[in-house]
Structure 1
Amino acid sequence: MTDTQEIEKPGSNFSQVLDAAAKLPGVRISRAAYLRTALKRHCTEEQIERAIADTPAAAGIPLKVITEVANTSIAYETSKVTGLSALAGIPGGFAMIGTVPADLAQYMGHLLRVAQKLAYIYSWPDLFVDAGEEIDEATESMLILFIGVMFGVQIAQGGVAKVANMIAANVAKKLPQKALTKGIIYPIVKKVAGHLGKSMTKQLFANGVAKAIPYIGAVFSGGLTLGTFFPMSKRLQKHLASLELTKPGHRAEEDEIIDAELVN
């Protein structure tokens, strides 16, 4: 087996798990609904509408508020995944998973939920523009990078930073499709997916989660979840907060504009 094949197969396996999790009821977060709910206690209606139409950064929402909202979202999702899974309790929810183990898809679903919330409060564009069942390639690639950051994959941080710079420099309201699917970010995505396909399923799930949840509706181990889910969520939060994209009032300057061919 060639090196490429070794990377592709684990990467493909991870993508299968991610795609299955993204199809679970309740996993996809409405950006507009989330921002409206998360910000209503902290901001004026005008600020909220500006945050939805543009970004929280463009609306001038203080970093203190952004951090508080992010912490609240992490605490909420950690609480959900620590107790009885709401996703597992929905009748027929796992019927669409196919060959992906239910516990694996369930845990990944919670990771995707918190990743979306953190992305939206830290001024990323809508990840699920298409309401169809299948996620598009650019969204899948971006989610792989976010999950990679959560698992401490170093190159994933670089990939997320590059995409953030593209969005900020071009004042874009959508993901850079070309860069994420066949451009300069795509090789990073493949490496991250390959790494996750090898390490995550072998280490985290083989050693704990899969055995802790032998049937649908089982309760997650609180200690296991707090030892993995919470710190991984905080890792993504810290990285997103460090990016220029999230700075209040951020606007791209002329010298920040990059070659449009790289992002369209």
Structure 2
Amino acid sequence: MEVTKGDTKVWYGILNSVLAIPGARINRTDFLKNNFSKYCTPEQIKLAIENGTLNAKIDIKILDKVADSSIKLHTITATGTSAVAGAPGGFAMLGTVPADLIQYYYHVIIVSQKLAYTYGYPELDGDADDDFLSMLTLFMGVMSGAKAANLALAKLTNELSKEVVKRLPKMALTKYGIYQVSKQVAKWFGVSLTKNTFSRGVSKIIPGISALISGGITLATFLPMAKRLKKNLRENINKKYFT
């Protein structure tokens, strides 16, 4: 089925609204400094910021430790009552969208950025906002089990691990069909969100998410999805990294 602007507009509108909430956009430099300083030398931190964690030769066990810590933190905070829900210009912007669901997306967006930066990704939130939205959508597609998203991210991760880049290269995004796959994932979310009611649509996208709407975010839903993204990013790092 052809992807139309209307199909994707719903999803990208929600993403942009969630990104307007304070703290949703992760500062890569601050994240790397705050999370790797106790494990790495100042020289490694500097290299990680400039060229990525892989080029800084940070041990894979340390990367896993930081990744697991991020997943644990957001799994715990996502299950509780988020203060962000009442932030001016935040959840209130979405009107009828259930607060529990927006809190879910908020933490998914944050943890996906943290996992990407942990496993060597360059700056995601750059000048081209469309690239950022495409990558976030791709991450969520992987977390939701979309095969096309999983394959596209695997190829991109492997490609990025072979070279030093400051920001996501448009050539690579085009080469591996990131834009097109992200549009398909966005359509998948958008159509489902508008097909019936908001809550019914979402429950068809992610198994078990109807429980999120009625009872909040649970350990059984957020944790495996975050681990799925971690698995994809970790396994598709250049194999030379592990030797």
| TM class, shorter-length | 0.7 to 0.9
Q: Work out whether residues 67 and 118 of structure 2, in 8 Å CA contact, stay in contact via their aligned partners in 1.
A: yes
2:161 to 168, 184, 190: 168
- 1:229 match: 222
Residues 131-162 of structure 1, C-alpha deviations (whole Å, 9 max, x = no match): xxxx7111111111101001111110111123
Looking at structure 1, the residues matched to 25 and 229 of structure 2 have their Cα atoms a distance apart, in angstroms, of 18
Please state whether the residue corresponding to 1:88 is helix, strand or coil: helix
1:83 to partner: Cα distance: 1.1
- The alignment of Structure 1 onto Structure 2 pairs a total of residues equal to 233
Question: Structure with the greater relative contact order (CA < 8 A, sep ≥ 6): 1 or 2?
Answer: 1
Looking at structure 2, the residues matched to 99 and 33 of structure 1 have their Cα atoms a distance apart, in angstroms, of 34
Q: Work out whether residues 57 and 245 of structure 1, in 8 Å CA contact, stay in contact via their aligned partners in 2.
A: no
- 1:195 match: 188
Looking at structure 2, the residues matched to 144 and 197 of structure 1 have their Cα atoms a distance apart, in angstroms, of 11
- 2:100 match: 103
- Confirm whether residue 207 of structure 1 aligns to residue 210 of structure 2: yes
Structure 1 residues 114-263: aligned runs within 5 Å: 114-130=111-127, 136-177=129-170, 180=173, 184-198=177-191, 201-203=202-204, 204=206, 207-212=210-215, 220=216, 224-245=217-238, 248=241
- Confirm whether residue 82 of structure 1 aligns to residue 83 of structure 2: no
Label 1:227 to 1:11 Cα distance change in 2 as closer, same or farther (>3 A). farther
- 2:2 match: 4
Label 1:228 to 1:101 Cα distance change in 2 as closer, same or farther (>3 A). same
| Amino acid aligned to 1:192 | V
Deviates more, 1:234-243 or 1:102-111: 102-111
Q: Work out whether residues 120 and 161 of structure 2, in 8 Å CA contact, stay in contact via their aligned partners in 1.
A: no
RMSD: 2.7
Q: Work out whether residues 125 and 132 of structure 2, in 8 Å CA contact, stay in contact via their aligned partners in 1.
A: yes
1:93 to partner: Cα distance: 2.7
1:9 to partner: Cα distance: 4.3
1:10 to partner: Cα distance: 4.1
1:49 to partner: Cα distance: 1.3
2:27 to 27, 30, 41: 30
Label 1:180 to 1:124 Cα distance change in 2 as closer, same or farther (>3 A). same
Looking at structure 2, the residues matched to 182 and 140 of structure 1 have their Cα atoms a distance apart, in angstroms, of 18
Deviates more, 1:81-90 or 1:120-129: 81-90
Q: Work out whether residues 21 and 27 of structure 1, in 8 Å CA contact, stay in contact via their aligned partners in 2.
A: yes
**TM-score with structure 2 setting the length:** 0.84
**Greater percentage in helix:** 2
Label 1:183 to 1:243 Cα distance change in 2 as closer, same or farther (>3 A). closer
Please state whether the residue corresponding to 2:83 is helix, strand or coil: coil
| Amino acid aligned to 1:237 | K
Deviates more, 1:60-69 or 1:239-248: 239-248
| Amino acid aligned to 1:103 | D
**TM-score with structure 1 setting the length:** 0.78
Q: Work out whether residues 56 and 248 of structure 1, in 8 Å CA contact, stay in contact via their aligned partners in 2.
A: no
| Amino acid aligned to 2:139 | F
Please state whether the residue corresponding to 1:104 is helix, strand or coil: helix
Looking at structure 2, the residues matched to 57 and 247 of structure 1 have their Cα atoms a distance apart, in angstroms, of 10
| Amino acid aligned to 2:202 | T
| Amino acid aligned to 2:219 | L
- 1:260 match: none
| Amino acid aligned to 2:23 | G
1:45 to partner: Cα distance: 1.3
Q: Work out whether residues 86 and 92 of structure 2, in 8 Å CA contact, stay in contact via their aligned partners in 1.
A: no
| Amino acid aligned to 1:152 | G
- In the alignment, structure 2 segments of 5+ residues that lack a partner are 193-200
Looking at structure 2, the residues matched to 239 and 109 of structure 1 have their Cα atoms a distance apart, in angstroms, of 21
Label 1:198 to 1:145 Cα distance change in 2 as closer, same or farther (>3 A). same
**Percent identity among equivalent residues?**
41
